[in-house]
Structure 1
Amino acid sequence: MGVKMGFENFNKVLDSLKENYKIYGPKNIESKGRFSDTDVVGYGEIDNFDEIVFDKKSYFSPKEIIHPIRQTLFYFTDGEVKESKVDDKKVIVFLRPCDINGIKRLDSIFLQNGPHEDVYYKRLREKVKFFMIECTEGFDSCYCVSMEANKTDNYSLAIRVNDNDVYLDIQDNEIESYFNENGDEIDFKPDYIKENKIEVNIPDPESLTNEVFENPIWKEYSQRCIGCGRCNTSCITCSCFSMQDVFYDKNKKVGERRRVWAGCHVDGFTDMAGGHTFREKYGDRMRFKTMHKINDFYKRFGFHMCVGCGRCTDVCPQYISFSKCINKLNQIVEGDKNE
């Protein structure tokens, strides 16, 4: 169903939806930027249409809506364990095609990576409906076309903002009922970006041999990377976490167990009992992340983990470009083939 309506009518629909849904989208967050008194675009709960930022890339991804930064799994006392609860309200998220494809990657990790589903992820994920923001131009650091993450039909509603009107493609009967008599029925389907400013050439996974693992390219990142983990926390597809017990009293018998975001670039992530640590060098961590994003995950699921949103490049204080890393890796592989 295609619908055209003005901003005012769309706001009325959002007001109706808020009775049953929490609505999230990219919004301007004041004074939370990386520099003093600067703003940043991140994800938060939306009260009206005017709050949604359509013309800028969000600094943070919508990942934390379904994979929270800190998530309480259960509470415990001396002789009892009680599972945590979640809000009864369903969730609507305004997001771009690359992020919808990013959540597909999270679904693969949490729901399809072995015989057991992650119930804590699933109970949040099954509440979510996607309102896809049409994206036809992208941003300077994007390379979603190369990663085949620029398109999707996995949405309840797609939206194009044009002058004083919005154009909608509604694919969800439950959502469609909110738009009855609030707009004009038209033929509309969203367009997708066809070419980014950046093109990435992904090496054939079969060509990533042990020799590539030992290539001097990774030493460059040992010198540049500072292990801050911003690339992990900004990435829509990074899913790693650590476990944390928080105690409410001194005898440590009352408290809660949480899982908390972690990442392969962060110090302590590979620490083991006995004082053993893997990948102490930052270049080794960069190698691990790169191989996971364009090699290991692909071999398991048939598509690449990275979706080319470019957020890791945007947030890196050392100006490390992940797209350039992939292209350098491909040049090494192609050079080996030609020798």
Structure 2
Amino acid sequence: MGYRFSKEKMDEIFSKLSEDFDVFAPVVKKGDGTFSDEDVVRYDKVHSLDEIEFEKKSDYSFKEILLPINETVFYFTEDETIVPKKPEKERLVFLRSCDIHAVKRLDEIYLKNGFEDFYYDRIRKMTKFVLMGCSNSCETGFCASLGTNKCDNYDLYLKCTEGEVFVDVKDEELKKAFESGEKKDVNPDFVSENPTKVTLPKNITKDTMQSGLFKEYGSRCIKCGRCNFVCPTCTCFSMQDIFYKDNEKNGERRRVWASCQVDGYSQIAGGHEFRQDNSDRMRFKVMHKIYDFEKRFGYTMCVGCGRCDDVCPEYISYSTLINKLSKEGE
């Protein structure tokens, strides 16, 4: 059962929710794009519905809300370590269907992959997800091809129209805030197809691994790592120890996002690096998304958001590469 509210009433409810929750949603950042006259849509803390960008897909994913780009794991002195405190408030995060599916992928890696990551787990338990419907498909997304265009595992669905707001509440804690609304059947908006369509390779063999497509696309890659950083399912990080200048025995250990496409990612002791060639790195990334992860967890890692295609400065299309691999395997 859902509810209908006037925009004014919903503003009051949102204001009250903000007292108990930190609310994060996609926001238009004026002039923060690649060039000074370009805007970018990125996640940030919001205090009203008017700040939220409901129409455009965010250029950057929600991932940095659950996994900070630069996160202090602990502080250290000569004789002790101190774990940073968790955030004071619970969180509400606005996501589209493909990104809610991405949360499942993050959970697999950080909670069900043989261990539970303490830092991810404590944020994850404090987070509820608000579904943002998609009335129209984005240009580069291919969620329908991967079955991530629809979902039902949200805590709250919210749709804004001119003068009215419709909600569907599943979380018992959140229901209390919306019980004053007019009861109404509310169904989320989902797209059924995308302009971009992808067919995953059915028969991946050793020949697939040696495909010339990886050399073709790898030769264009400049190893910037932007595809990994905007991806909602990439999970790799490196560890850094920071020593304070006033006392070099004190400092902090941080984990920082890493990219399998940049130099040094696969380097081990002695300076040996497993994947030095760009084509090897391209193959590693692609096969992990569509083969390795599925072999372990039963479904593909990619959710079809299309952000990697959007952000690549060399116009390398991941979706086109996947389709070409499929044709080679026919």
Give the TM-score normalised by structure 1: 0.95
Superposed displacement of residue 250, structure 1 = 6.7
Which residue number corresponds to residue 168 of structure 1? 167
Aligned to 1:267: 263
Pick one of 245, 249, 252 that aligns with 1:249: 245
Q: Distance in 2 between matches of 1:88 and 1:81?
A: 21
Aligned to 1:28: 28
Q: Secondary structure at the match of 1:211?
A: helix
Compute the displacement of 1:249 (Å). 3.2
The equivalent residue for 1:202 is 200
Contact 1:232/1:238, CA 8 A, preserved across alignment = yes
SS of 2:143's equivalent in the other structure is coil
* Residue 299 (structure 1) aligns with: 295
Matched, 1:279 2:275: yes
Query: Which SS does the other structure have where 2:19 is aligned?
Result: coil
Match of 1:192 in 2: 190
List 4+ stretches of structure 1 deviating above 6 A: none
In the TM superposition, what is the alpha-carbon distance from 1:21 to its structure 2 partner?
A: 0.4
Per-residue CA deviations over 1:68-119 (Å, capped at 9, x if unaligned) read: 10111111100111111111200001110100101110000000011x2111
Indicate the RMSD between aligned Cα atoms, in angstroms.
1.1
2:161 and 2:80 map into 1 onto residues whose CA distance is 56
CA-to-aligned-CA distance 1:9-49 (integer Å, 9 cap, x gap) = 11111110111100010111122101123211100001111
* Residue in 1 that maps onto 2:73: 73
Matches within 5 A, 1:19-168: 19-114=19-114, 116-168=115-167
**Match among 210, 215, 226 for residue 211 of structure 2:** 215
Q: In the alignment, does 2:257 pair up with 1:258?
A: no
Secondary structure, aligned partner of 1:146: helix
Provide the aligned length of Structure 1 versus Structure 2.
330
Paired position in structure 2 for 1:9: 9
Distance 2:128 2:44 in 1: 15
Distance 2:279 2:8 in 1: 52
Secondary structure in structure 1 of the residue aligned to 2:64: helix
Structure 1 position 322 matched with structure 2 position 307: no
**Letter of the 1:35 counterpart:** F
Alignment-mate amino acid for residue 153 of structure 2: N
In structure 1, stretches of 5+ residues that fail to align are 335-339
Give the TM-score normalised by the residue count of structure 2. 0.97
Deviations 1:105-137 (A, max 9, x none): 0000000011x2111110111111011001132
- Give 1:161 deviation, angstroms: 2.3
Aligned to 1:291, the other structure's residue is in SS state: helix
C-alpha distance in structure 1 between counterparts of 2:58 and 2:328, whole Å: 33
Checking the alignment, whether the CA contact within 8 Å between 1:96 and 1:133 is kept in structure 2 is: yes
In the TM superposition, what is the alpha-carbon distance from 1:222 to its structure 2 partner? 2.4
* CA distance in structure 2 between the aligned counterparts of 1:268 and 1:216, rounded to whole angstroms: 24
CA contact (8 A) 1:7 1:49 kept: no
Give CA deviations for 1:272-318 in whole Å, capped at 9, x if unaligned. Answer: 11011121111211110110000000011111100000000000000
Displacement of 1:143: 0.2
For 1:225, the equivalent position in structure 2 comes to 221
1:337 aligns with none
1:110/1:117 contact within 8 Å kept:
yes
Following superposition, the deviation at residue 154 of structure 1 comes to: 1.1
Moved more, 184-193 or 288-297: 184-193
Please tell me whether the aligned partners of residues 102 and 237 of structure 1 are also in contact (alpha carbons under 8 angstroms): yes
Tell me the distance in 2 between the aligned counterparts of 1:89 and 1:250: 33
Partners of 2:135 and 2:148 lie apart in 1 by 13
Task: Give how far 1:266 is off.
Answer: 1.6
Whole-angstrom distance in 1 between the partners of 2:221 and 2:267: 19
d(CA) in 1 for partners of 2:187, 2:130:
13
Identity of aligned residues (%): 48
What is the CA–CA distance in structure 1 between the aligned matches of 2:211 and 2:141, rounded to whole Å?
27
Report the AA paired with residue 325 of structure 2.
L
